[in-house]
């Protein structure tokens, strides 16, 4: 099974918003992260964990986000996505096709298709 078959919409912001605004947006959309995009390029990703860790210490997402964003292609298989997540200790991967963001795949998305994933990655 391919990433494009399980990916969801990615939620993005195109300006450096405050952590409080990011938290409100993530809560209202019931999402676990936002991608910060500038000039069609991913600048970073801010997750719920980042908000909890940095709230009160940092003021904007650009100060609290992870800047080295790891991504995956839509035609990659689910095993590859899980391996990348496991190796990098992350739960979300932006899906990039021809330099453009086309979606997001999360660990939750992958677990919904656990029967399609090689068992060796699920055992640790």
Give the pLDDT confidence of 61-80 residue by residue, as tens digits. 999 999 999 999 999 999 99
| Per-residue pLDDT band at 123 (split at 50, 70, 90) | very low
- Structurally, the chain folds into a number of domains equal to 1
Contact call for residues 46 and 34 (beta carbons, < 8 A): yes
Structure tokens at 53: 């860790």
| Residues 59, 69: Cα–Cα separation, whole Å | 20
User: What is the domain-level CATH number for residue 113?
Assistant: 3.10.580.10
E strands present in the chain: 12-13, 33-38, 41-47, 92-97, 100-106
Lowest mean pLDDT among 28-32, 56-60, 110-114: 110-114
pLDDT of residue 36: 97
Query: Nearest to residue 82, comparing CAs of 45, 110, 124?
Result: 110
d(CA 109, CA 114): 9
Band of the pLDDT at 119, cuts 50, 70, 90? very low
Q: Is the pLDDT of residue 60 over 60?
A: yes
Residue 33 domain boundaries: 3-121
Write the CB contacts of 107 (distance below 8 Å, at least 6 apart in sequence). 82, 85, 91, 92
pTM attached to this predicted model? 0.89
């Amino acid at each position: 099974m391919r990433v494009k078959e399980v990916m969801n919409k990615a939620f993005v912001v195109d300006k450096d918003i405050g952590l409080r605004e990011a938290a409100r947006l993530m809560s209202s959309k019931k999402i676990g992260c936002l991608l910060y995009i500038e000039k069609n390029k991913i600048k970073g990703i801010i997750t719920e964990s980042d908000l909890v860790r940095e709230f009160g210490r940092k003021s904007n997402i650009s100060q609290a986000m992870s800047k080295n964003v790891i991504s995956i292609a839509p035609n990659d298989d689910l095993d590859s996505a899980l391996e990348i997540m496991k190796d990098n200790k992350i739960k979300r991967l932006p899906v990039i096709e021809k330099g453009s963001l086309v979606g997001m795949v999360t660990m939750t998305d992958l677990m919904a298709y656990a029967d399609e994933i090689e068992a060796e990655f699920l055992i640790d």
